[in-house]
């Protein structure tokens, strides 16, 4: 009888071990991968993030050298009396991506005595392909500059990089005091899977999709348009703050989004 007791005890122990393994397997499935956010997907659509969207810059852009920045004038003249100066709303290395033929660029314009500004876009050979003059008298806040879709402006080409300059003109007779921000925009193409996700998404979800896939300009312009349409939406406000904070622009997140007038 003793051998039978030992066999029975062995079977019971083996069963217990199997139960422990099964429980451990089930419990592990309840936890997200380390370093990975939990998706919120209540109605089966694309995801949003608790805490707001965060931009992830593609590795090749991080490793690339940022464009040469022009020298900045000494504070004074038409320079801002605010602690925040003229700032392009782009990643820290001034390189951003878009999937659009005609993207929109954003800048923070501090209080200034200047009356005009200009935006210039150049191709890889340094040829100017677009210029927009702006009236900025009594304007302060985040402004958008859109490339118009018309026959006189060629669309950005997939796989090519372009440089831009945004300049606040302090003195039209002496341009040495100009305040300038410069950067690079790259036109890229989306995969079929990302296009499918975007087709099902609302503006908040689109912002997340663009941001997580390294498409900075379109994440920002999508969210800015949503905020203009719904300025009192607290969720959009929180998303805006999160997105700008992810590229170290949190101090600008509370500034208003304002309109400027292109000069004729």
Contacts of 109 (CB under 8 A, 6+ apart): 86, 117, 136, 139, 140, 141, 142, 143, 168, 258, 260
Q: How far is the C-alpha of 202 from the C-alpha of 198, rounded, in Å?
A: 8
DSSP-assigned beta bridge partners for residue 145: 105
- Site of tokens 């990975």: 36
DSSP symbols for 44-59: SS--B-TT-------H
Return per-residue pLDDT of the chain as tens, 264 residues: 445 444 444 333 433 434 333 323 333 332 222 223 333 333 344 454 557 899 999 999 988 766 565 544 444 457 666 678 999 999 999 999 999 999 999 999 999 999 999 999 999 999 999 999 999 998 999 999 999 988 789 999 999 999 999 999 999 898 888 999 999 999 999 999 999 999 999 999 999 999 999 999 999 999 999 999 999 999 999 999 999 999 999 999 999 999 876 776
């Amino acid at each position: 009888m003793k051998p039978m007791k030992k066999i029975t005890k062995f079977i019971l122990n083996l069963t217990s071990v199997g139960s422990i393994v099964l429980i451990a397997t089930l419990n592990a499935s309840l936890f997200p991968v380390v370093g990975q956010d939990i998706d919120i997907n209540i109605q089966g659509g694309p995801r949003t993030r608790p805490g707001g969207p965060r931009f992830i810059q593609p590795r090749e852009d991080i490793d690339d050298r940022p464009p040469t920045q022009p020298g900045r004038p000494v504070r004074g003249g038409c320079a801002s009396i605010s602690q925040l100066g003229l700032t392009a709303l782009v990643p820290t290395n001034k390189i951003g991506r878009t999937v659009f033929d005609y993207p929109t660029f954003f800048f923070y314009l501090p209080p200034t005595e200047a009356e005009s500004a200009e935006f210039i876009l150049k191709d890889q050979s340094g040829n100017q392909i677009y210029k927009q003059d702006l009236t900025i008298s009594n304007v302060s806040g985040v402004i958008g500059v859109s490339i118009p879709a018309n026959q006189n402006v060629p669309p950005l080409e997939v796989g090519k990089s372009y440089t831009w300059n945004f300049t606040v003109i302090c003195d039209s007779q002496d341009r040495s005091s100009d305040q300038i921000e410069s950067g690079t925009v790259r036109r890229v193409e989306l995969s079929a899977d990302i296009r499918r996700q975007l087709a099902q998404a609302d503006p908040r979800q689109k912002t997340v999709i663009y941001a997580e896939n390294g498409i900075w300009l379109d994440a920002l312009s999508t969210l800015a348009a949503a905020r203009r349409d719904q300025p009192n939406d607290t969720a959009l406000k929180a998303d805006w703050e999160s997105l700008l904070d992810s590229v170290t622009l949190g101090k600008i997140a509370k500034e208003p989004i304002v309109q400027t007038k292109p000069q004729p």
